[in-house]
Chains A and B, each alone.
Chain A
Amino acid sequence: GQQVMQIPQYQHVQEGEDFTTYCNSSTTLSNIQWYKQRPGGHPVFLIQLVKSGEVKKQKRLTFQFGEAKKNSSLHITATQTTDVGTYFCAGPTEEYGNKLVFGAGTILRVKS
Chain B
Amino acid sequence: GAGVSQSPSNKVTEKGKDVELRCDPISGHTALYWYRQSLGQGLEFLIYFQGNSAPDKSGLPSDRFSAERTGGSVSTLTIQRTQQEDSAVYLCASSLVVAGTGINSPLHFGNGTRLTVT
**Does B bind A?**
no
